Every structure is written in structure tokens, then in C-alpha cells.
């Protein structure tokens, strides 16, 4: 039968989730085509040219690539390895003073310098977070069950309930309590140093349209820790190297890539997927079509409201998917003197967050369509972290800046300039002398990310992570099993459970579901 179709499955989008999904399908001997509008693979990892230096389009760091997936797909055989597996972090106050910390270990030497009490509290608190994130990690790796349905669903719920009970009674109660609470209250209960509290709060809200006082911000912190117990890593060769390794893993299993091919729509016949139609009119057929772009774009643009019922369409329209994080790249030249002076800072992840109220105020601005006057910034120098990248005299610094609303009021170019200026000043404060080395810069607003990746809203996670868009509710209940209401159409992107952050889990979970389904012979 399969000869009737060009492929067994077509994956729309060569982002990491699309490639992970394709690789798993190919590993199960399916003939898979990956199509992407860009000229190179990777999505957010895609290398682009920035004044002669190759930089990833949007991805910053590896916050929790699923390690079992690295093994399954034998990524190391395809050239993947880490330059740094556990990057230390430093948080900066307004006066330039800093505290070093890491979510992955109990080193409190720097913290003890500002607060003995906090240094005493931190290890226990951190270990508890890691323990709780273990529950979230277990949930994150599972394909969401439904609330009704068959006994397999019930078994999954039971397994999660047992895992929870195994925490012990008082820990389980604490987990249930803080799961819905905000990080502000939790940190106020535990710590006294405002900048240290802001650092942990920043870990919770980076990439999310949340502030420390927003409920759900403990959940997002646990999600961040769930991937790799708080380790933040950088692949050798930068983030784009992960994209290249995934491409190689796909191709070695026979996956075909077709680049520069924008998908106009999913071809549907008799309420069943038949393939995709490209922008140039070409039709490629397959009984299974998997979209790694966001759920809203998939449902409303690629599939079309005509094929979906109105209640469903309304829900999809209400998925919260507006990004609030901008990315700024700086090209730096001639760092030799500078590097010696601030060697330590250049190999760390630098967070600007004086106190939680500053983050909260930055968030307030964005609620009404303004960019934050004093933003939250995460700055790294990937070419400094990665020793394999030394031949170039040029260096790269990349910053994530919050909050930058998707729907902005006022002049967008002015906002761009202000954002750049604010970020440069903050970078200068963290790394004195930084400004004088800048030779070029690039600003990516959420709208630019939307433009470059095609995901509606330009959100990191394609859809906000919050309890009402989590697990069996993500992105909406009817899509939580990675499957659209139209037979043969699936989702495998960050908009699905468990979300973004370059984990690859949505792609893998989708592949597992697809392979278990009858719609793929």
C-alpha cells in the first residue's frame, strides 16, 4: 500500500523537535521526509551568518536536552558532545556586585559572603527543589494520559499518584502546596538577600510571561530543573552543533530533507491527511503529517478552520503563545586584554536581577505593551565557554532580555534602540569594558522570532507553560495526545507537552504515540 504515497510520514519543520521525531520514526523503519522553509536545518538552532560569524538563530543554551534521547539516537556518533556540561551562574546587583551560584550544586562560598543564613538554607532548599523536579521530570517524560478513556490512561495516573506518595506524607503536602504558588512567596519564606532571591526568581521566569509574584512560577522553575537537575550546558561548536548532529542522525537512518520549502497547507481528503502542499504548488503525499510548528499555526493556517469544529477553533485561538523574551547578539572584537581582566565572568552565565521587585516592575511594563525600562538579562559568551572555538578573533555574546511584549505600543524601531541601549549598559555593568569591544549587534524581538521560525507569538515554548496549559491540558485538552481531530495529523513541537527549552521530549513523545497508532501502517 505504501507505494501510493511518496512517504510514510512528512514532518513540517526541521527544528530539533521535528528532527527528533523524524529520527525516531526512521529508526522504526518509516520513510520520512522533513520539509522546512529555511535554507538550513535547526529552527531555533539554525546557524545564521552574523558579520562573518556563524550563530544560532535563537537558541541560547541547553537547559535540559533529554539525555536518553541522546543515547537512543546515538548523537555522539554523529559528532555531538558538550563543551561545558555545567555552566556556573552569577547574579548581579545594580552596583555591579555579584553572587555566584549554580542550580546544580551546593557550593555556597559566594553566597556566604553576603548572607550566612542564606548559605545555610540553600543546600536543603535546592535539594528539595531537585527532588520535586524529579516528579515533574517523570511527568514531563510521559505522554499525557486522558482523564477518561481506557485502562492505560488510568495506569498512568496511578503511576504518577504512587510516585507522589513515595515522596512521603509531609513532602507530598509541600509539593501540592507549592506547585500552584508563586516563587516570590517561597523565596521570601526562605531567604533574605534580595539579589540572591532575584537570581532564583529569574531562573523561574526566564522565557515565560510570568513575574516572581505570578502563581505558576514555581512550576516553571521545577520544569527548568527537571531536564538535567539544574545543569545548564553548551554543546561543542555551539547550539547549532546539536542541529547538525540531529540532521546527521536523521540522514543516517534514511530521512530525506527538503529545504527552502514552505508548506502552504496540509492536504486533507475525506477528513484524512493525504500529504502537504508546498508554496510552489507541489504536492507531496503521505498518510501521516506531523507539524513541529506551534499548535495555533498548525490548526488554523496549515489545516484550516474548515476542517475543525468551532469550539475547538475557539480554544486554539485562546492558547497563550505571545512571547515576551528578546534575544540580542553582540559581536565582540579583540578581547585579549579584556579576557584577562575578567576571565571568570566570561565563562559564566551572567544574570542581571538586582531584586525581585525589579523583575516584577519589568513585567508590569510588558503587561501594557511597553518594553521593560530595567529588564532582566541573561548574558553568555558562547565562544568563550567553548574552547574549541578559539581560532576566531571575534567573539559572540548573546543576551536574553525580558520583558519585551509581542504586541508593543509605540514605535517599534525606537523600542529596538532602547532595548539595545539598556542591554548594552547592563552588560557593561556586569563586564566592565564590554561596550568598547562591540563591533556589531542584532536584536530579535518576539515578532522577529515569529517571523524567523513561523511560530505564532514568537514564544520560546510555543505556548505559555502554566497549570492551565500543562500536561493533559497542553496546549489544549483536545491536542494533549499530540494528535489533531483530523486523522493522520500530529503535533511534535514545543507547544505540546512538556514544552520548549531544547529538551527534544515533545518530538520523541509524539513519535512514540504515532508509532503506536494504527494510522501509520
Would you tell me which residues interact with other proteins (CB under 8 A)? 146-149, 165, 169-170, 172-174, 176-181, 185, 189, 213-216, 314-315, 318, 320, 357, 360-361, 364, 367-368, 466-468, 472-473, 477
Measured from the CB of residue 354, what is the shortest distance to other proteins in angstroms? Answer: 15
Q: Between 170 and 336, name the residue whose CB sits nearer to other proteins.
A: 170
Helix (H) or strand (E) holding 385: helix 382-385
Strand partners, 400: 327, 378
Please say whether the beta carbons of 25 and 9 come within 8 A. Answer: yes
Compare residues 360 and 428 and give the one whose CB is closer to other proteins. Answer: 360
Torsion over CA of 243, 235, 63 and 261, rounded to 10 degrees? -10
Quote the CA–CA distance of 62 and 3 in Å, as a whole number. Answer: 40
- Least distance from other proteins to the Cβ atom of residue 150, Å: 12
Least Å distance, CB 12 to other proteins, is 26
How far apart are alpha carbons 397 and 345 in whole angstroms? 12
Q: Which is nearer to other proteins, 98 or 456 (CB)?
A: 456
Q: Do 351 and 377 meet the contact criterion of CB atoms below 8 Å apart? A: yes
What is the closest distance, in whole angstroms, from the C-beta atom of residue 258 to other proteins in the complex?
Answer: 37
Q: Which three cell numbers stand for residue 340?
A: 584577562
Quick check: 358 and 347 in contact, CB under 8 A? Answer: no
Reported as type and span, the H/E element at residue 273 is strand 272-278
Is the CB of 318 or the CB of 334 nearer to other proteins? 318
Residue pointed to by grid coordinates 565563562: 347
When the beta carbons of 215 and 304 are compared against other proteins, the nearer one is 215
Helix/strand/coil for 326: strand
Nearest residue (CB) to other proteins, 142 versus 264: 142
CB of 320 to other proteins, least distance (A): 7
Contact 385, 89 (CB under 8 A): no
Least Cβ distance, residue 497 to other proteins (angstroms): 14
The smaller minimum CB distance to other proteins, of residues 223 and 249, is found at 223
Nearer to other proteins, 52 or 148 (CB): 148
Task: Give every strand in the sheet of 263-269, ordered side by side.
Answer: 263-269, 272-278, 283-285
CB atoms within 10 A of CB 70: 18
CB of 512 to other proteins, least distance (A): 22
Whether cis (ω within 30° of 0) applies to the bond prior to 91 is no
Does the CA dihedral 474-476-478-484 come out positive or negative? Answer: negative
Quick one: cell of 114? Answer: 553576603
Over its C-alpha atoms, the chain yields an Rg (Å, rounded) of: 22
Question: From the CB of 250, what's the least distance to other proteins, in Å?
Answer: 35
Amino acid at each position: 500500500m505504501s507505494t501510493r504515497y511518496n512517504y510514510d510520514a512528512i514532518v513540517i519543520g526541521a527544528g530539533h523537535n521535528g528532527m527528533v521525531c523524524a529520527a525516531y520514526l526512521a529508526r522504526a523503519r518509516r520513510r520520512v521526509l522533513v520539509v522546512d522553509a529555511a535554507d538550513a536545518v535547526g529552527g531555533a538552532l539554525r546557524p545564521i551568518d552574523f558579520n562573518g560569524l556563524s550563530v544560532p538563530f535563537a537558541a541560547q543554551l541547553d537547559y535540559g536536552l533529554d539525555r536518553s534521547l541522546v543515547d537512543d539516537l546515538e548523537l555522539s556518533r554523529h559528532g555531538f558532545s558538550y563543551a561545558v556540561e555545567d555552566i556556573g551562574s552569577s547574579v548581579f546587583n545594580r552596583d555591579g556586585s555579584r553572587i555566584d551560584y549554580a542550580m546544580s550544586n551546593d557550593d555556597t562560598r559566594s553566597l556566604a559572603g553576603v548572607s550566612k543564613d542564606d548559605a545555610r538554607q540553600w543546600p536543603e532548599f535546592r535539594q528539595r527543589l531537585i527532588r520535586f523536579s524529579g516528579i515533574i521530570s517523570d511527568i514531563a517524560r510521559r505522554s499525557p494520559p486522558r482523564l477518561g478513556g481506557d485502562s492505560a490512561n488510568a495506569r498512568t495516573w496511578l503511576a504518577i499518584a504512587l510516585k507522589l506518595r513515595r515522596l512521603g506524607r509531609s513532602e507530598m503536602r509541600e509539593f501540592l502546596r507549592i506547585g500552584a504558588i508563586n516563587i516570590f512567596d517561597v523565596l521570601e519564606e526562605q531567604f533574605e538577600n534580595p539579589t540572591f532571591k532575584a537570581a532564583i526568581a529569574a531562573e523561574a521566569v526566564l522565557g515565560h510571561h510570568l513575574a516572581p509574584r505570578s502563581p505558576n512560577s514555581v512550576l516553571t522553575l521545577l520544569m527548568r530543573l527537571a531536564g538535567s537537575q539544574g545543569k545548564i550546558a553548551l554543546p561543542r561548536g555551539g547550539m547549532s552543533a546539536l542541529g547538525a548532529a540531529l540532521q546527521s542522525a536523521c540522514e543516517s537512518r534514511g530521512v530525506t530533507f527538503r529545504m527552502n520549502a514552505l508548506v502552504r497547507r496540509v492536504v486533507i481528503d475525506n477528513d484524512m491527511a493525504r500529504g502537504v502542499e508546498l508554496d510552489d504548488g507541489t504536492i507531496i503525499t503521505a498518510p501521516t503529517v506531523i507539524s513541529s510548528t506551534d499548535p495555533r499555526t498548525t490548526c488554523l493556517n496549515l489545516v484550516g478552520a474548515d476542517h475543525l469544529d468551532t469550539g475547538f477553533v475557539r480554544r486554539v485561538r485562546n492558547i497563550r503563545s505571545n512571547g515576551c523574551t528578546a534575544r540580542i547578539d553582540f559581536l565582540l572584537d579583540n578581547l585579549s586584554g579584556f579576557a584577562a581582566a575578567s576571565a571568570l565572568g566570561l565563562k559564566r552565565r551572567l544574570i542581571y536581577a538586582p531584586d525581585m521587585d525589579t523583575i516584577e516592575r519589568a513585567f508590569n511594563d510588558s503587561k501594557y505593551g511597553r518594553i521593560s525600562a530595567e529588564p532582566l538579562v541573561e548574558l553568555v559568551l558562547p565562544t568563550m565557554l567553548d574552547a574549541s572555538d578559539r581560532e576566531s578573533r571575534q567573539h559572540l555574546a548573546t543576551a536574553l532580555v525580558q520583558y519585551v511584549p509581542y504586541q508593543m505600543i509605540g514605535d517599534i524601531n525606537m523600542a529596538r534602540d532602547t532595548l539595545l541601549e539598556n542591554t548594552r549598559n547592563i552588560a557593561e555593568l556586569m563586564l566592565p569594558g564590554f561596550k568598547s569591544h562591540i563591533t556589531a549587534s542584532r536584536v530579535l524581538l518576539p515578532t522577529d522570532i515569529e517571523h524567523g521560525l513561523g511560530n505564532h507569538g514568537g514564544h520560546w515554548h510555543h505556548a505559555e507553560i502554566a497549570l492551565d496549559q500543562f500536561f493533559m491540558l497542553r496546549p489544549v485538552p483536545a491536542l494533549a495526545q499530540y494528535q489533531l481531530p483530523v486523522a493522520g495529523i500530529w503535533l511534535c513541537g514545543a507547544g505540546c507537552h512538556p514544552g520548549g527549552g531544547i529538551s527534544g521530549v515533545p518530538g520523541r513523545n509524539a513519535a512514540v504515540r504515532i508509532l503506536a497508532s494504527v494510522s501509520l501502517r
